């Protein structure tokens, strides 16, 4: 009887300790998952790209992205991929494309809805196109948690 009671108590303790807790991961864990590296090739049209994400409150994300070219090109653009951490990987939940023609710059400031308690990041493709010439790079923001 004593042995059975001890086993039941140990089983109960292990059950309570082993219960998974779902919480937003810390920034270092979510930033290590699926890193996207910028290209290292020499660019002649595409100068730079930037991306920024913030919690705007009210379950809303504030997003600001820019693409810069060295000179005016027939097409300059960005494709904003909003990603949410699902507990084990980043999943793209929305892709938002923008482009300009005959310009050396495009910049967009937008808001998108988000769910409280989840972490979000941006993976943005910045590109320039001039006839057969196409250059691009990716920027990836750190993950943020919406409260």
Q: What is the pLDDT of residues 113-126, one digit of tens each?
A: 999 999 999 999 99
Q: Is the pTM of this model over 0.85?
A: no
Q: What's residue 14's pLDDT?
A: 36
Closest CA to 86 of 16, 36, 30, 13: 30
Read off the DSSP letter of residue 4.
H
Mean pLDDT of 93-111: 98
126 with 49: CB under 8 angstroms?
Answer: yes
Walk me through the domains of the chain, giving residue ranges and CATH numbers.
23-145 (2.60.40.10)
pLDDT above 60: residue 74: yes
């Amino acid at each position: 009887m004593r042995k059975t009671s001890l086993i039941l108590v140990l089983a109960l303790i292990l059950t309570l300790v082993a219960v998974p807790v779902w919480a937003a991961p810390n920034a270092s864990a979510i930033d290590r998952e699926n890193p996207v590296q910028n290209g290292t090739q020499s660019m002649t049209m595409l100068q730079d790209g930037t991306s920024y994400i913030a919690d705007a409150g009210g379950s809303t994300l504030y997003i600001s992205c820019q693409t810069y070219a060295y000179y005016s090109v027939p097409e300059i653009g960005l494709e904003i991929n909003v990603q949410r951490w699902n507990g084990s990987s980043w999943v793209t939940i929305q892709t938002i494309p923008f482009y300009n023609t005959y310009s050396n710059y495009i910049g967009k400031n937008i808001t998108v809805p988000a769910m409280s308690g989840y972490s979000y990041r941006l993976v943005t493709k910045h590109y320039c196109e001039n006839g057969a010439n196409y250059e691009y790079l990716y920027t990836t923001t750190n993950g943020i948690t919406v409260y």
